[in-house]
């Protein structure tokens, strides 16, 4: 299934994408994609519905983030060896973890706001994992059973805040609008081999990133199992898993987002996003 949340900010309704690409309203069957609604039993129940029996949504409503604000928004750094190289950093021996602020989550086509005083706002196309059931100290062989689905994340990053302001990376990762998610939450049965998905990102129509989840240092099952050793993962939590090379910081000279720039990005089977960068205003 391709699950969506559609409507104005703060008023999103749950839906699914039918075989013709239309949105079907699921609000008569689930309130939102949180908690128990993401469990294996709930997703199986939704999968059993006939899309034709659900109301067809008219027009072209806004896509919200495919899950509401998560309790935890966790990111994995330097998870592609060639991205580590362009960052002049060694390939990590264990996953590098940091937090993105849950409040940075926005819809896949919403504007990205360049923070006040920023001169180094950057892009990162990433595969994101959405947790479907409670996970604590789970083994790698059991990890995928705790995943509700996958989506695209643009892990927008302010590099000066991240690398030049001392302390943790999260300073440059959690600014408002720095976490576009969606357009769809795609269930694992429809994704197939999650470690074989092509991915790309353009800025103003120019290809910047081309990659594949095949080249992740730590795969999805490893990441979910690893994180569960340190914290309790709960339904609706989001883990974004790292980016391939081609970020602005790695360009020679570096290239960063400015107001008016348009980022388009996509991952095979997960759809695409489009964001326009806008200047911060009070």
What does the pLDDT profile of the chain (282 residues) look like in tens digits? 999 999 999 999 999 999 999 999 999 999 999 999 999 999 999 999 999 999 999 999 999 999 999 999 999 998 998 888 888 878 889 999 999 999 999 999 999 999 999 999 999 999 999 999 999 999 999 999 999 999 999 999 999 999 898 888 889 999 999 999 999 999 999 999 999 999 999 999 999 999 999 999 999 999 999 999 999 999 999 999 999 999 999 999 999 999 999 999 999 999 999 999 999 997
**CB of 142 closer than 8 Å to CB of 216:** no
Closest listed residue to residue 75, CA positions, set 276, 197, 243 = 243
Beta-carbon contacts of 276 under 8 Å, excluding residues fewer than 6 positions away, are: 111, 112, 260, 261, 262
Query: How many residues in total does the chain contain?
Result: 282
Query: Domains in the chain, ordered, with CATH?
Result: 2-53 (no CATH), 73-279 (3.90.850.10)
* Burial class (CB within 10 angstroms; exposed 0-12, middle 13-18, buried 19+) of 40: middle
**CB of 240 closer than 8 Å to CB of 276:** no
**CB of 57 closer than 8 Å to CB of 22:** yes
CA distances from 98 to 16, 110, 203, 222, 260 (A): 31, 24, 26, 16, 29
* Burial class (CB within 10 angstroms; exposed 0-12, middle 13-18, buried 19+) of 282: exposed
**CB of 238 closer than 8 Å to CB of 74:** yes
């Amino acid at each position: 299934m391709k699950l969506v949340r559609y409507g104005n900010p703060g008023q999103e309704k749950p839906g699914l994408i039918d075989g013709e690409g239309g949105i079907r309203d699921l609000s008569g069957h689930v309130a939102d994609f949180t908690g128990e609604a993401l469990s294996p039993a709930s997703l199986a129940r939704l999968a059993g519905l006939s899309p034709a029996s659900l109301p067809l949504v008219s027009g072209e409503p806004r896509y919200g983030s495919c899950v509401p604000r998560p309790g935890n928004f966790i990111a994995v750094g330097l998870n592609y060896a060639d991205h580590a190289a362009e960052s002049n950093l060694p390939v990590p021996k264990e996953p590098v973890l940091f937090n993105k602020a849950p409040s940075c989550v926005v819809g896949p086509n919403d504007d990205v706001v360049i923070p006040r005083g920023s001169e180094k706002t950057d892009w990162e196309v990433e595969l994101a994992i959405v947790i479907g059931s409670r996970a604590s100290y789970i083994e790698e062989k059991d990890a995928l059973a705790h995943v509700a689905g996958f989506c695209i994340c643009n892990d927008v990053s302010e590099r000066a805040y991240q690398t030049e302001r001392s302390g943790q990376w999260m300073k440059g990762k959690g600014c408002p609008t720095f976490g576009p998610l969606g357009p769809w939450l795609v269930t694992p049965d429809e994704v197939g081999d999650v470690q074989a998905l092509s991915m790309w990102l353009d800025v103003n129509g120019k290809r910047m990133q081309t990659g594949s989840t095949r080249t992740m240092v730590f795969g999805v099952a490893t990441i979910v199992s690893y994180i569960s050793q340190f914290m309790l993962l709960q339904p609706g939590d989001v883990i974004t898993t790292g980016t391939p090379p081609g970020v602005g910081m790695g360009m020679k000279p570096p290239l960063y987002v400015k107001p008016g720039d348009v980022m388009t990005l996509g991952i095979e089977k997960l759809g695409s996003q489009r964001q326009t960068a806008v200047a911060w205003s009070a």
